[in-house]
Structure 1
Amino acid sequence: MKLIGKNIVIRNFEMSDLEQFLELVQDKNNHKLAGLEYTEDVDFGRDLLDMYCRRDGSYAIALSGNNKMIGIIELNKRGESTELLLTREMGFVVDRKFRHQGYAKEAVEMMINYGFTDLQLTEIWASTEKENPVPQNLLENFDFKYMYEADQALPYTGQHNLVKYYLLKK
């Protein structure tokens, strides 16, 4: 898949994205604020990139001028039952060096248009970490409505992760 915007391109991942991908997964802040996998292990990072290359609905956000990957955006299936087939959950993260420059806004807008126009979706969900107001404001600017908060506790770890869920209907 390839979507071309004014400043960015949303495209499939490539193994040549490894250096930029590692910057994302080696940043603990991305794990804390966006739920992105965290690792300092380069081999495991390469395996993660390979997984993203094969994962349906996961795409690289790249600069349109040089095709450099600067983030990740996803439209993940929410299930295979009939009532969920036309819904997706969107997630996104942009490398800290490229934040506050409008790239996430452009990527989210492109994915909303792709989801509702090309995929004929009826709903797009998004979740954010409770303590991460920046993507919450971005989603609300696109008319996503706050629906509920949930604790995504990890079994047997004692870790709790409060997230807010937002919904955009066609």
Structure 2
Amino acid sequence: MTLIGRNVIIRNFEMSDLEQFLELVQDKNNHELAGLEYTEDVNFGRDLLDMYRRRDGSYTIALAGNNKMIGIIELNKRGESTELLLTREMGFVIDRKFRHQGYAKEAVGLMINYGFKNLQLTEIWASTEKDNPIPQGLLEKLDFKYIYEADQALPYTGQHNLVKYYLLKK
């Protein structure tokens, strides 16, 4: 898939994205704020990129001018039951060097348009870490409504992860 915006392109992952992909997964901040996998192991990073390349609904956010990867955006199925078939959950992360420049807003807007027009979705959900107000503000600017907060506790670890869920309806 390819979606072309004014400043960004949403496209499929390519192995040539490895250097920029490694920058994203080697930044612990992306793991803490966006839930992106974290690794400093280049070989594991290469395996992660290959996984993203094969994952349906995962795409690269690239600059329109030079096709350089600057982020990841996903539109994932929420389940296979009848009531969930026309819904998706969106996630996104932008390399810290490219934040606060409008790229995320444009990419999310392109994906919303694609989801509602091309996939005929009725709902798009998005979640953010509770203490990550910047994407929360972005989602609200794009007419997502805050719905609820949930604890995504990891069993047997004692770790708790509070997440806010937002919903956009067609």
TM-score normalised according to structure 1 size: 0.99
Aligned partner of 1:77: which letter?
K
Residue in 2 aligned with 1:7? 7
Residue in 1 aligned with 2:87? 87
Cα distance in 1 between the residues matched to 2:43 and 2:16: 14
Moved over 3 A (4+): none
Matched, 1:20 2:8: no
Residue in 2 aligned with 1:63? 63
Identity over aligned residues, as a percent? 88
Aligned partner of 1:136: which letter?
Q
Matched, 1:142 2:142: yes
Matches of residues 88-167 of structure 1 in structure 2 within 5 Å? 88-167=88-167
Deviation string 1:72-91 (CA, Å, 9 cap, x unpaired) is: 00000000000000000000
Other structure's SS at 1:91 match: strand
Cα distance in 1 between the residues matched to 2:155 and 2:119: 34
Residue in 1 aligned with 2:46? 46
Structure 2 residues without counterparts, runs of 5 or longer: none
Output the aligned Cα RMSD.
0.4
Residue in 2 aligned with 1:34? 34
Aligned-residue offset at 1:158: 1.3
Residue in 1 aligned with 2:76? 76
Aligned partner of 2:107: which letter?
A
Would you say how many aligned residue pairs link Structure 1 and Structure 2?
170
Cα distance in 1 between the residues matched to 2:68 and 2:160: 34
Cα distance in 1 between the residues matched to 2:160 and 2:44: 24
TM-score normalised according to structure 2 size: 0.99
